[in-house]
C-alpha cells in the first residue's frame, strides 16, 4: 500500500456504506484503497476503523472479489495480539469492503527508511522485539484452526516490512493476508501466476511450492534488512533478482555490517543473529526452522529484546513525520464530521444521510447505502408494564377495603305482616333497652276485651321486655322489623263489637270492624 498525507486538502465528502462512514483515503495499493472510517452504533456510539475498499474496476471480477473475501475469512480466524484483526466484511452492490481495526502506528519499511535517512539504525534490541512479535503473529496464522478444530493451513506468502505495522504502543502487528493461501480459499491461483514480493521470495516459491517454510524464509530476509540497515537485493533488475532468488543466494549478514564501527559485545550479538538468519534462509525447506515459534525462540536466545515502551520511543522518533501526517488527517476528518451534525431523526430513518458542513460537500445519493443502524427502541412497553402494575395494586386495595367493610353476618329482614292475618307476633331476637321503670299496660275495660278476629286468632298481649342495662347495637333502619303494638294501643284500635251491630231506625247495621 502507498500511504498518502495531504494536510492542506479539504476533507473529502464522506460515503456511508451500511453502518460505516468512509472518510479520506490514507493508503492506496494495486487492488484496494485504505480509508479512515467510522463505525456507527446506537446512542451516539462511534469507533474509528480502517476500511480496505476494493477498487471499482475489480468489483466485477469474480477472482479478485473471491481473493478479497478470502482475506477476510482467513484473518478473522486468527486471534493474536501481533495480528491486525478483521472486524467485518461488506459486499453490497458494487462495494466490497474489508473492515479492520485501526492501529495508529508506522509500517516497518518506513521506520527502516527513516533510520537510513537519519543514519541512525534501529538498535538490535528493538529489531529483535519487532521481528520476534512478527514471528509470533506468523505462528498464530500457521496454527489457526476452524470452528471444528481442523487446521486451516494458512501460509501468508507476503511477509515483508510493508506488511508489519509497528504501533505507537510498541506492539508489532502482521497484516495484509490478501494473497494468503489456506485450505478453504474460494479462489485458486492459476498455474504460472506468482503472488508475493520477489525480494522476499524463497526458491521453492518461484517453483510454485508454498509451505510454512516459505514464510520463515521471508521473515529471515526481513530480519536481515532490519539489522543490516539496507535492502538485501538492492539495485538488481527483475531478471537478475529472479536468478539470484532461484539459486538461494543470500549475502551473509556479518558481511553486510561494518565490524570496525561496532563494539565487541555488539558484534557478538550480530553474529548470533546471523546464525539464525542463515538457518532460516537455507535452500532446502527441511533445513530451516520447522515452525515460526522455533525461530522466534532462537532469536530470543541470540539477542535480547527491547520492551514495548522502548520500541514505542523509537517508533515516535523515527516515525514522527509519518505519525503527524496521519494525525492531521484524523483531526481534519473528525472536525468535518462534527460539523455535519448527523441528526437522530436521520439515524432512525434507516439511511444516515450525511449533512454538508463547512469544507465538505454532500454525498451523492448513489454513494449512500442502506444503514444497518438499529432504530431507537420504543418505550411503550415500559409504560405498559408500569400501568399494569398500578392497576393490579388498585384492584388489591379495593378488595382489601371491601373485606374490611363486610359485616360478619348479614342482618335478617322480617317482612311486615298485616295484623288481621298474622300469627302471634314474636319479639325480635335483638334485646331492646328497657326504660328504668317497667311499663305496665293498664287493664282494658270490659267492653274493650278483644274478640276473635276474622281469622279466628286472638290478639295476644306482648309481655314487657325485662330490664336490661347492656346496650345492643341498633340494626340499620331497613333491616329492623316493625315493633308489635302495646296492649293499650291494640285495645284502643279494636272496635266495640259487643254488640257487633247497631240500629238506624228499624235497619240493623253491622259494625265494619266486627264482621
Q: What pLDDT score does 382 carry?
A: 65
Gap between the Cα atoms of 198 and 239, Å rounded? 10
Return the axis-axis angle of helices 124-142 and 212-228, rounded to nearest 10°.
170
Whole-angstrom distance, CA of residue 10 vs CA of residue 359: 6
Write down the pLDDT at residue 44. Answer: 77
Burial of 355 by CB count in 10 Å (0-12 exposed, 13-18 middle, 19+ buried)?
middle
Q: How far apart are CA 418 and CA 420, in angstroms?
A: 6
| CA dihedral for 115, 118, 119, 123, sign (positive or negative) | negative
Is pLDDT at 454 greater than 50 in this prediction? no
Alpha-carbon gap, residue 293 to 138, rounded angstroms: 8
Radius of gyration of the chain (CA): 53
The residue ranking higher by pLDDT, 3 or 389, is 389
What pLDDT score does 182 carry?
A: 54
pLDDT of residue 462 exceeding 90, the answer is no
Tally of residues, the chain: 515
Contact yes or no for 414/428 (Cβ under 8 A): yes
The second-level CATH assignment, the architecture, of 103-186+194-318 is Orthogonal Bundle (1.10)
More confident call, 226 vs 95: 226
What phi and psi values does residue 403 have, to the nearest 5 degrees?
Answer: -65, -35
Q: Helix or strand or coil: residue 53? A: strand
3-class DSSP state of 254: helix
- What is the C-alpha separation between 219 and 161, in angstroms, rounded? 9
Query: CB neighbours (10 Å) of residue 147?
Result: 6
- Cα 33 to the center of its chain, rounded Å: 29
User: How far apart, in whole angstroms, are the C-alpha atoms of residue 355 and residue 361?
Assistant: 8
Among 32, 26, 67, which residue's Cα sits nearest to residue 52?
Answer: 32
* Between 472 and 1, residue with greater pLDDT: 1
Alpha helices in 353-486 (DSSP H): 380-405
> Per-residue pLDDT tens for 401-419?
667 665 544 444 444 444 4
Mean pLDDT of 323-350: 71
| H-helix segments, 25-123 | 62-76, 108-118
Dihedral through CA 232, CA 237, CA 239, CA 243, nearest 10? -20
Residue 180 confidence class, pLDDT cut points 50, 70, 90: low
Cell of 276: 539464525
Domain 1-102+321-367 CATH class label: alpha beta
Where do we find the cell 452492490? 93
pLDDT in tens, 354-389: 333 333 333 333 333 333 333 444 445 566 777 778
Would you say residue 172 has pLDDT above 90?
Answer: yes
The SS3 call for residue 120 is coil
pLDDT tens-place string over residues 471-513: 445 545 444 444 555 554 545 555 677 777 777 777 777 777 6
| Beta strand ranges found along 143-212 (DSSP E) | 164-167, 172-174
Q: Is 229 helix (H, G, I), strand (E, B) or coil?
A: coil
pLDDT score recorded for residue 302: 97
> Phi then psi for 107, rounded to 5 degrees?
-65, 150
Mean pLDDT value across the chain: 75
Please, what is the Cα angle at 308 between 81 and 52, to 5 degrees?
45
Q: Quick one: cell of 46?
A: 462511534
For the ranges 27-41, 283-297, 473-487, the maximum mean pLDDT occurs at: 283-297
Give the cell for residue 365.
445519493
Whether 81 shows a pLDDT value over 90: the answer reads yes
Q: Which three cell numbers stand for residue 391?
A: 392497576
Element (H, E) at 265: helix 264-280
Comparison of pLDDT for 303 and 388, the residue scoring more:
303
Question: Which cell is 142 given?
Answer: 500457521
Find the Cα–Cα–Cα–Cα dihedral 351, 50, 364, 64, rounded to 10°.
Answer: -110
Domain range annotation of the chain: 1-102+321-367, 103-186+194-318
Residue 84 Cα to chain centre, angstroms: 22
- Average pLDDT value for residue range 428-455: 46
Cα–Cα distances in angstroms (integers) from residue 216 to residues 183, 247, 283, in the given order: 19, 17, 12
Alpha carbons 298 and 259: distance in angstroms, whole number: 23
C-alpha cell at 496: 266495640
**Burial bucket for residue 506 (CB in 10 Å: 0-12, 13-18, 19+):** exposed
In angstroms, the first-to-last Cα distance of the chain is 133
Amino acid at each position: 500500500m502507498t500511504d498518502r498525507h495531504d494536510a492542506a486538502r479539504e476533507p473529502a465528502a464522506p460515503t456511508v456504506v451500511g453502518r460505516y462512514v468512509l472518510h479520506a483515503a490514507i493508503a492506496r495499493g494495486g487492488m484496494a484503497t485504505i480509508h479512515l472510517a467510522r463505525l456507527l452504533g446506537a446512542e451516539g456510539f462511534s469507533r474509528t476503523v480502517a476500511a480496505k475498499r476494493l477498487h471499482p474496476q475489480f468489483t466485477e471480477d469474480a477472482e479478485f472479489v473471491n481473493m478479497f473475501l478470502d482475506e477476510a475469512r482467513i484473518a478473522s480466524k486468527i486471534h493474536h495480539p501481533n495480528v491486525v484483526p478483521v472486524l467485518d466484511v461488506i459486499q453490497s452492490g458494487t462495494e466490497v469492503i474489508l473492515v479492520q481495526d485501526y492501529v495508529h502506528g508506522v509500517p516497518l519499511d518506513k521506520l527502516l527508511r527513516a533510520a537510513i535517512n537519519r543514519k541512525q539504525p534501529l538498535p538490535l534490541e528493538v529489531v529483535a522485539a519487532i521481528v520476534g512479535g512478527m514471528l509470533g503473529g506468523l505462528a498464530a496464522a500457521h496454527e489457526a484452526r476452524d470452528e471444528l478444530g481442523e487446521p486451516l493451513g494458512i501460509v501468508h506468502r507476503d511477509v515483508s516490512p510493508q506488511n508489519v505495522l509497528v504501533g505507537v504502543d510498541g506492539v508489532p502487528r502482521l497484516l495484509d493476508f490478501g494473497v494468503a493461501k489456506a485450505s478453504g480459499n474460494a479462489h485458486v491461483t492459476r498455474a504460472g501466476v506468482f503472488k508475493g514480493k520477489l525480494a522476499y521470495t524463497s526458491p521453492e516459491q518461484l517453483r510454485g511450492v508454498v509451505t510454512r517454510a516459505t514464510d520463515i524464509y521471508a521473515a529471515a530476509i526481513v530480519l536481515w534488512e532490519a539489522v543490516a540497515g539496507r535492502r538485501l537485493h538492492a539495485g538488481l533488475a527483475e531478471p537478475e533478482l529472479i536468478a539470484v532468488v532461484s539459486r538461494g543466494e543470500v549475502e551473509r549478514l556479518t558481511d553486510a555490517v561494518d565490524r570496525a564501527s561496532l563494539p565487541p559485545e555488539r558484534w557478538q550479538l550480530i553474529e548470533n543473529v546471523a546464525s539464525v538468519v542463515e538457518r532460516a534462509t537455507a535452500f532446502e525447506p527441511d533445513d530451516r526452522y520447522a515452525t515460526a515459534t522455533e525461530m522466534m525462540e532462537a532469536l530470543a536466545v541470540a539477542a535480547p529484546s527491547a520492551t514495548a515502551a522502548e520500541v514505542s520511543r523509537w517508533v515516535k522518533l523515527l516515525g514522527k513525520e509519518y505519525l503527524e501526517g496521519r494525525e492531521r488527517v484524523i483531526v481534519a476528518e473528525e472536525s468535518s464530521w462534527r460539523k455535519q451534525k448527523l441528526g437522530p431523526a436521520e439515524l432512525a430513518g434507516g439511511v444516515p444521510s450525511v449533512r454538508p458542513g463547512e469544507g465538505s460537500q454532500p454525498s451523492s445519493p448513489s454513494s449512500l447505502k442502506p444503514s444497518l443502524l438499529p432504530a431507537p427502541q420504543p418505550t411503550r412497553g415500559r409504560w405498559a408494564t408500569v400501568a399494569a402494575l398500578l392497576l393490579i395494586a388498585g384492584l388489591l386495595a379495593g378488595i382489601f377495603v371491601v373485606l374490611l367493610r363486610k359485616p360478619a353476618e348479614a342482618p335478617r329482614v322480617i317482612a311486615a305482616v298485616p295484623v288481621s292475618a298474622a300469627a302471634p307476633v314474636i319479639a325480635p331476637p335483638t334485646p331492646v333497652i328497657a326504660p328504668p321503670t317497667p311499663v305496665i299496660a293498664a287493664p282494658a275495660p270490659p267492653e274493650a276485651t278483644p274478640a276473635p278476629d276474622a281469622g279466628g286468632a286472638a290478639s295476644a298481649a306482648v309481655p314487657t321486655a325485662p330490664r336490661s342495662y347492656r346496650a345492643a347495637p341498633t340494626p340499620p333502619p331497613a333491616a329492623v322489623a316493625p315493633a308489635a303494638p302495646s296492649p293499650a294501643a291494640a285495645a284502643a284500635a279494636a272496635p266495640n263489637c259487643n254488640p257487633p251491630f247497631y240500629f238506624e231506625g228499624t235497619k240493623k247495621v253491622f259494625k265494619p270492624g266486627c264482621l
